[in-house]
Structure 1
């Protein structure tokens, strides 16, 4: 009986992870189509990054404990899926400044995801506390990387809707930081990590 329940639980988790990974895959597909039409490097950078996110959602380790608070779920949904509403503009070239910023943000995000590895998650949850890689410098390097990458994306794909989405995504990320730290502060290992790594998002700033 326990084996059957475990199998059903594993199947439910796999289906949930797949449903979360699909929007990342669709977002990547939209930008792959844009790259095929215009050969814009910014589009292929998005494809690489979102494919990486989708992969780690599928293979992430189960959490020891997760938050099911409605507020936490709401800001997680907002922070995760608002950027997926961004869409490329029909342009034949990218601005160098936007390209450079987006490359930096994408590289930081790739390093952040690889540092986090199978501890990747969405809602506040307790998995392994990461202290290596970019997590030695700031406690939320992925949110920093998202912000940098989104700024570069906006430069090359500017319109009012994309601007509003990027600003909304930034607001959600700041709220997620507070939510996650409130949840994780119940664990002594995270309190120790906070003491050793004082910066949340940007070294020497915040």
Structure 2
């Protein structure tokens, strides 16, 4: 039992250090767009990363999965998105008056899901208390829906092949992450009851 707890603590510490490192990398690469050129979309993107950092550091660990596959898709699906670059030299696919509100909506949706979870928030698939209020009445994974909107806004504002590749890979991992989380949560009767009434996993009327 003690070895399992030690292993879990080590994994938790490793994850937190990795998150801090990736957030620092994003700030380093995108320092000028965020702090000098005041890119609204890039600033919101950084804000989301900082929220993730705060909630990760303050969370109360649950019975997390120790599967290497679950850890891989969770880490890559969450932190991989921080490899994007806000290149001011590219021509946006959509004007700021569209990208800005889309990014803000994504940030607020993600934050509302985090506030609903509070200390139950976690990156890795785990057995945690089921939350059914707030945005969880609409979709099973509202936080990821918020991520999707924010990522889409960033890509439309900075449509480079690098960003497209990073976010395409990230969302491939996110879909696997959703599957891993639901595999664990489906063992709980409250989740079974709640999910039967919340049909959509990520995007209302789509998926």
User: Does TM, scored on the shorter chain, surpass 0.5?
Assistant: yes
Task: State the distance in 2 between where 1:152 and 1:110 align.
Answer: 17
Q: Which runs of 5+ in 2 are unaligned?
A: none
The reply on whether 1:44 has 2:43 as its aligned counterpart is yes
Match for residue 26 of structure 1?
Answer: 24
Deviation per CA, 1:119-139, whole angstroms, max 9, x where unpaired? 111111012111111111111
Structure-2 change in CA distance of 1:73 and 1:21 (3 Å): closer
Two-structure CA RMSD over aligned residues (Å):
2.5
Deviation per CA, 1:54-107, whole angstroms, max 9, x where unpaired? 0000000120x2211222122112201210111110349973222232122122
User: Which 4+ residue blocks in structure 1 deviate beyond 4 angstroms?
Assistant: 8-14, 91-94
Deviation per CA, 1:142-191, whole angstroms, max 9, x where unpaired? 11111111010011111101011111112111111111111111111211
Task: State the distance in 1 between where 2:124 and 2:177 align.
Answer: 9
Match for residue 150 of structure 2?
Answer: 149
**TM-score under structure 1 normalisation?**
0.85
Q: Which runs of 5+ in 1 are unaligned?
A: none
Task: State the distance in 1 between where 2:175 and 2:12 align.
Answer: 29
Paired residue secondary structure (2:193)? helix
Paired residue secondary structure (1:82)? helix
Match for residue 202 of structure 1?
Answer: 203
Q: CA deviation at 1:196?
A: 2.4
**TM-score under structure 2 normalisation?**
0.85
